[in-house]
Structure 1
Amino acid sequence: MDRTGWKPFLERWSEEWQIANPAEEPDADPWLGFPPASPEEVEALERRLGCALPPSFRDFLLVTNGWRNAGNFVWQLRNTDEIGWMRDLDPFMAELYDDRDDYADEGAALARSLLISLEADAGVVFLDPGDVDERGEWAAYDMFSWTASGPDRYDSFYDKMDDFYAGFHALDRPQCETQRTWDAKVDQARLASLAGEVDQPLTVLKEASRFGRDRADVLLFQMSAILGHADASNGFEHLLGRGHHLSWPLDEGLFTAEILPFLFAQHGRARNRGTGSAVTRLMKYGSDRVQQLIADYRRRAAEPGFQVPFGNPEFDTAVRALLADPAHDDAWPLLREALSTWRPMSEDHLVPITLLADPRTARLITPERGQEILAIRRG
C-alpha cells in the first residue's frame, strides 16, 4: 500500500466511521487522521531509530502523521515524534515474556519491537524489525491483556490496518456502500457454491465474515459442516446469542429443519465424550427466540416415531429408499445420485447438512466426499 492507495482507503474509513458514530457537529471534518508528516519528519524519525521504516508504514505517515480510532480497542496511533522502541517507551511490555520459554519467539519480537500505538484498551500495536519479508515489510502485531493470549501477527502494517478496518465494520455495522458491496459478494458466492464451485465461495465468505456480514457465517457454517470441519459451528454460534444485532434476519425454517438436527447430533456426541456443545451453550446464552426453537425441537424429537427429514420430499424419499435397501453395502454412489433431486429450502440454504444428523448417512460422508458434494451443481 503506497501513498496513492492509503489516501482513499483512509478517507473511506473516516466517512464510514462518522456514519456509525455521528459527530455532535454535523459539519465536523470526518477525517480520523492528522496532517501528513513531511518527508523531513519521516527522515528524522528514521535517523533517530537508526533504520529505514517499512514501506507501508512510511507511506502511511506521509498521508497522516498518526491516526484516531484504529480499531475499536486502539484509540490512537503515534506520530513521528512519539514513535519509538518498545524497550525505551514501555520496558515492562518489552520484558513481558522474559521468563516464558513457551513464548520465546513472541518475547524476542517484543524486546526488539517498534511501538506505534499511543492509546489502547490494555494493549499495544507494534512492528517487528526482525521479521521482514522480500518487500521490506515488517511483521505487525497487536496484543491485548484481556484476550488471555499472545500477540496476533500480521504480515505488514497495512495488513494490520486492514484487520482493524474489518473489525470496525464487524462491530459498528455502518450502513454504507462497503457493507452493500459485501452483501452482493455473499449472494454471488452463494450462487457460485450452488453451481459447484468450492474454493472461491469459501474465500469470499470468510472475508465477508470478517466484515460482520452474518449471512456469510450462515453459508460458511454449512460448507464447513459438510467438509467435516470440527469447528464448523464456532463462527455461527455467536450470531444466536443474546444482544447480537444481526445483519441477517434469523431464518427460522432453515434453523429448525437443517441446523438444529446437525447441532443435536453434535450434542449427542459431545455428551458421550463429556464435553460441551453448541446446544448446551445456546440454551444458556442464546437469544430468547433461539432457546424457544431449541426447546420446541427437543420436544418434537422426543415424540415416538420422530425422524429428521433429509430435505425436500423427492430427496427425502430417495435417501430413505437407499437406506432401506440391504443389498447395497456401499450406498455412497446412490446417495450421490440422489443429490440431483435435492432443492434448497430458502436462499440461505446451500447443502443438505441433515445428512450429517443421521448416523447412517453421516458415516457415508467423509471430508473428501463432502468436497465432492459441494462440487456438484445443486438445486
Structure 2
Amino acid sequence: MTDSDYWRAFLTRWSHEWADAQDPDAPDDERLAGDEEVLRTRWLGFPPASEERIRALEERLGHRLPPSYRAFLSVSDGWRHAGGFVWLLAGTDQVRRHQDAAGLSEYFPGGPDDDAAPEGELPAGMWQRALELDVESDAVHILMDPGDVDADGEWPVYSYASWRASPPERYGSFRAFMEDMYREFHSLQVDRSHRTGQEFVNATTRALDASVEEARLEALRGRYEEAGTALAEALEYGRPRAAGLRDQIRRMLGQTYTVSFHGLTADPLYAPEVLPVLAAEHVSAHRDDSAWSYHLGGASPAAAETAREILRDVREGTYRYAPGGAFGRAVAQAREQTRWGDTDGAWRTLRAALPEWRPVGPDHIAPVGLCADPLLGPLVTPERGRELLATPRAGRRGVAPAPAADVDPPGLAWLTEVDPGHVLSSSYRFVLVAAVEPAELPGRLGADETTVLDEPVTLWESRMRLRGGADAPGWEDRALACVGRAGAGWSFALEARPGGGFAEKWFDSPGVAASDGTRTVTVWSEPSDGHRPGVFHLSVAENGEERYAFTVRGTAAVRGSLPAALDPERLFRPDDPPAERLGERRALEALAAEYGVRLPRFALTRGRLHTFRTRPWNRPPGPGEGYWTLRFVRSRP
C-alpha cells in the first residue's frame, strides 16, 4: 500500500464514521459551515492538491514538505473536524508561519540554540519558525516544526491550547497527529452518544470491543502485559469497558494515579470490590468527603448509600476483604497469618489459592479488593502484584510465573539497617517469649489483668497513641508494644523509640516475670547519636529468674554466665565506628543464631500488628528516692 493509498483508506473510514455519527435532526445552528456538504458527500476532506500546488507551497516555505503531510495533501487539500477542537486544518493555500504571534515562547522558551532539546522540552526557536496548520479551532494551535527533521524526513507536530494548562503535546509526524485526532473523535463521540442516548457502532468500534474482550481473557490467562497494551489502545478510542479493566491491572501494579475503575463504581455488582480501594486512597490522602461523590456518577440512591457505608468502614478500619469460595478461605487464613507478622507465609497462602479465584462478573479480572484490606493490602507490593497478574486464574490455562522472593530477611540484624527517618531506625526494645502464643502476651507482660490486644495498627500509629494511662504514676515507663511471632515457638512484644532512655539504676526487665514456666529474651538498644555513646542491653530469664545479662555503654557490665557466642567483649570492639552499629549487629546475629529467633521486618515497617500496654520497664522510687515529672503544655494565642 502506498502512502496515498493509506491516506485515502484512512480518511474515507474517518469520514464515513463521522457522518454516520451525526444526528440528522440536529438544528442548523448546531452545525458548522460546510457540515451539510460533508453529510451529503460523506467526506470530511477536500479535493486533492495537485503536485504543482504542493510544489508551489514548498517554494513559498523554502522547505520540502515532510512525507506524511505531502501524501495527505495529495489525497485531501485540508481537513474538517480534526478531533473535537480543530474544525479546519490548512490546505496548501492556508499554511502560514506561526512567528510566535501569541508570545508563547515566553512561557515555553526551549533550550539554547546550540543544544539539543532535552526529553519532553521544545527545541530552541520552534515558535518562530513553525508552520501553523489550524485555520479554525477552539483556541488550539497546531504547529509543524521544519527545524526538527527525523531520519525519515518527518517533522514533529505540536498541539497547544492554553485552556489545557499543560505544555504543548508533541507528535512525531503529521500522520501520528492525525491518527491521534481520529482516536480523539472516537473518544468524544462515545461520550456524546452516551449523553444523547444514540448508538455509536461501526466496524472500528466492533473490532476494538472484540480486542477488549480478548484482552480480558488474556489477563485471566496471566498475560497481563499483552492485555494492558490492547486495553490502552482501546481506551484511547474511548471504548467503555477498557478503562475499568485496565485500571484493575494498573492498581495491582501499585499505580494509583488516575485509577478510577471507570464504569464499575456505580454498578452494584462491582462496587463492593472496587470502591473500598478508592475509599482507602481517599482516607489516606485526607481528602474532603465532598470529593467522594466523584466516584458515584450514575449510582442509584441505594448504591450511593452502600458507597457511604464502605467509606465509613474503611475510615474506621473495620473493612475486611471477604471474597467467596476457595480463594475467600485462603484470604481468611492469610489474614490470620498477617495479624501475627507472618506476611511471607500469608502471601504464599494467597499465591497458592490464586488459580481458584473467580471474578464477580465479566468485567472483573483481578482481586483488587485485596489492596483495600488494612492487613492484607500492604502485602500487595508491585512485585507481588505482577506475580498475581501473571498467575492464570478463573479456570484459565497458562504458564504460572516464578514465585516472587520473600521480603522478610532472617534473624534480627536487619534492625540496624532500617531506613533513616523510620520510627524503628533509632532506639527500640523488645521481649521474646518462648512457647507462648502472641495472643497470650498481655497475660504475661500486660499492664494489669484487664489488658487485652488492641486492633492492629502501624508502628507509627502506635507511637501516636498516648503513653501511660490517665491514672498512671508519672514515674512509670510503660510501652505500647506491638506483638507477633518471632520464629518457631517464639512470640515478641516490641516498642520502637521508647519515650524514656535506658537507665541501669531504674531498669526492671518485664521479661523476668514473663518467663514463669518458659524462657524470655529482653533487648534494649539506643544507638549512639554522635554526642553520647550508645547503649545495648540483653538479658535472658527462665522460670521467673534472670539467668544472665550484659549492658554495653562504652564498656560492658555482665551478670551471670554468658554463652560464649554472646560474650560482649567479642561482639563490641573498641575500634568499631559507633555510627555503623557493628557491635549491635553482631549481638543481634549471635542472639538469632543462639535461639533461632527472628522479627518480621515487613510487618513492623510497612504492615499492621496488634498492640497492648505493658507493665513498667522500670522500678518505682524506693524510700528516700524521688523523681521529677515535666509536662509541656502548648498555649494558644
Please classify the TM superposition score into its range, dividing by the shorter chain length: 0.7 to 0.9
Q: Deviations over 1:130-180 (max 9, x none)?
A: 222221111111111211222111111111111110011111133211111
Contact 1:310 1:319 in 2 (8 A): yes
1:6 aligns with 2:15: no
1:372 counterpart residue number: 387
2:333 maps to which residue?
321
Name the structure 1 match of 2:83: 71
Q: In 2, distance between residues paired with 1:163 and 1:213? A: 15
**Aligned CA distance change for structure 1 residues 356 and 12 (closer, same or farther; 3 Å):** same
Aligned to 1:358: 373
Q: Please give the alpha-carbon distance, in whole angstroms, between the structure 1 residues aligned to 2:233 and 2:96.
A: 33
| Shift >4 Å, 4+ stretches | 22-27, 99-105, 300-307
Structure with greater proportional helix content = 1
With 21-30 and 135-144 compared, the bigger mean Cα shift is at 21-30
CA-CA distance at 1:191 after TM superposition: 0.2
- Any idea what SS the aligned residue of 1:59 has? helix
Asked if the contact 2:108–2:167 (Cα under 8 Å) also holds between the matched residues in 1, the reply is no
**Kindly tell me: are residues 44 and 259 of structure 1, through their superposed partners in 2, closer, same or farther at Cα, counting changes over 3 Å?**
same
Q: Match of 2:160, SS?
A: strand
In the alignment, the residues of structure 1 paired with residue 152 and residue 108 of structure 2 have an alpha-carbon distance, to the nearest angstrom, of: 31
Question: Once the two structures are aligned, what percentage of the paired residues are identical?
Answer: 39
Determine if contact 1:310/1:352 at 8 Å carries over to the other structure.
no
CA deviation vs aligned residue, 1:67-105 (integer Å, no higher than 9, x gap)? 111111100011111112212xxx423x32236558885
Match of 1:183, SS state, is helix
1:129 aligns with 2:146: yes
What is the distance in 1 between the residues matched to 2:310 and 2:78?
58
Native 8 Å contact 2:276 2:311 kept in 1 = no
Partner AA of 2:306 in structure 1? D
Q: Report the alpha carbon displacement of residue 212 of structure 1 after superposing the two structures with TM.
A: 0.8
Correspondence for 1:212: 238
Give the C-alpha shift of residue 184 in structure 1: 0.5
- Asked whether the equivalents of residues 296 and 304 of structure 2 are also in contact (C-alpha less than 8 Å), the reply is no
Q: Match for 1:253 among 255, 269, 272?
A: 269
| Superposition CA RMSD, Å | 2.6
State whether structure 2 residue 50 is matched by structure 1 residue 58.
Answer: no
Question: Closer, same or farther in 2 for the Cα pair 1:40/1:268, shift >3 Å?
Answer: same
1:309 aligns with 321
Question: In the aligned structure 2, how far is the partner of 1:305 from the partner of 1:56?
Answer: 57
* Residue equivalent to 1:19: 20
Please state if 1:86 is matched with 2:98: yes
In structure 1, distance between residues paired with 2:341 and 2:161 = 59
1:40-66 CA distances to partner (integer Å, 9 max, x unpaired)? Answer: 110111111111111000000000000
Q: 1:97, 1:103 within 8 Å by CA — same for their partners in 2? A: no
The separation in 1 between residues aligned to 2:142 and 2:372, in whole angstroms, is 44
1:354 is displaced (CA, Å) by: 0.9
Provide closer, same or farther for how the CA distance between residues 186 and 329 of structure 1 changes in structure 2, counting only shifts above 3 A. closer
Q: Which residue of 1 aligns with 2:51?
A: 39
Name the SS of the counterpart of 1:53 in structure 2. Answer: coil
C-alpha change, 1:181 and 1:282, in structure 2 (3 Å) is farther
Instruction: Kindly provide the amino acid, as one letter, of the partner of residue 270 in structure 2.
Output: L
Q: Which has the higher contact order (CA 8 A, sep 6+)?
A: 1
> Does the 8 Å contact 1:312/1:345 carry over to 2?
no
Partner Cα separation in structure 2 for residue 291 and residue 15 of structure 1 = 41
Q: Which residue number corresponds to residue 229 of structure 1?
A: 255
Q: Deviations over 1:187-235 (max 9, x none)?
A: 000000100102211111011011011200000110000000131515x
Which structure 1 segments of 5+ residues have no match? 242-249
Q: Check conservation: 2:145, 2:155, Cα contact below 8 A.
A: yes
Given the alignment, which residue of 154, 158, 163 partners 1:141? 158
Decide whether aligned partners of structure 1 residues 81 and 375 sit closer, same or farther in structure 2, where only a CA change above 3 A counts. same
* 1:287 equivalent in structure 2: 297
Residues 241-280 of structure 1: pairs in structure 2 closer than 5 A: 251-255=267-271, 257-271=272-286, 275=287, 280=290
Q: Measure how far apart 1:322 and its partner are.
A: 2.4
The change in CA–CA distance for 1:172 and 1:327 in structure 2 (over 3 A counts) is closer
Instruction: Pick which of 220-229 and 286-295 moved more.
Output: 286-295
Q: Which amino acid aligns with 2:96?
A: G
TM-score for the superposition, normalised by structure 2: 0.53
Distance 1:297 1:207, change over 3 A: same
Residue identity matched to 1:127: M
Measured in 2, the distance between the counterparts of 1:115 and 1:203 equals 33
Q: Is structure 2 residue 187 aligned with structure 1 residue 170?
A: yes
Partner SS for 1:125: strand
More displaced, 215-224 or 170-179? 170-179
CA distance change for structure 1 residues 132 and 282 in 2, over 3 Å: closer, same or farther?
A: farther
Change (3 A) 1:374 1:285: closer
Could you tell me how far 1:368 is from its partner in structure 2?
1.2
Q: Which one is further off, 105-114 or 76-85?
A: 105-114
- Count of aligned pairs: 359
Q: Deviations over 1:87-128 (max 9, x none)?
A: 2xxx423x3223655888547322211111111101111111
Q: Quote how far apart the aligned CAs of 1:280 are.
A: 4.6
SS state at 2:16 partner: helix
Q: Is the 8 A contact 1:138 1:157 kept in 2?
A: yes
Q: How does 1:324-339 map to 2 (within 5 A)?
A: 324-325=336-337, 326=340, 328-330=342-344, 331-339=346-354
Using the alignment, how far apart are the partners of 2:296 and 2:126 within structure 1?
40
2:452 is matched with which residue?
Answer: none
Tell me which structure has the larger Cα radius of gyration: 2
Task: Name the CA shift for 1:198/1:155 in 2 (closer, same or farther; >3 Å).
Answer: same
* Secondary structure at 1:41 match in 2: helix
Query: CA separation in 2, counterparts of 1:324 and 1:134?
Result: 60
Question: Kindly tell me: are residues 54 and 291 of structure 1, through their superposed partners in 2, closer, same or farther at Cα, counting changes over 3 Å?
Answer: farther
Shift in CA distance, 329/222, structure 1 to aligned 2, threshold 3 Å: closer
Structure 2 CA distance, aligned partners of 1:357 and 1:329?
Answer: 16
One-letter amino acid matched to 1:206: A
Kindly indicate whether the alpha-carbon contact (under 8 Å) linking 1:55 and 1:136 is maintained by their aligned counterparts in 2. Answer: yes
In the TM superposition, what is the alpha-carbon distance from 1:309 to its structure 2 partner? 3.4
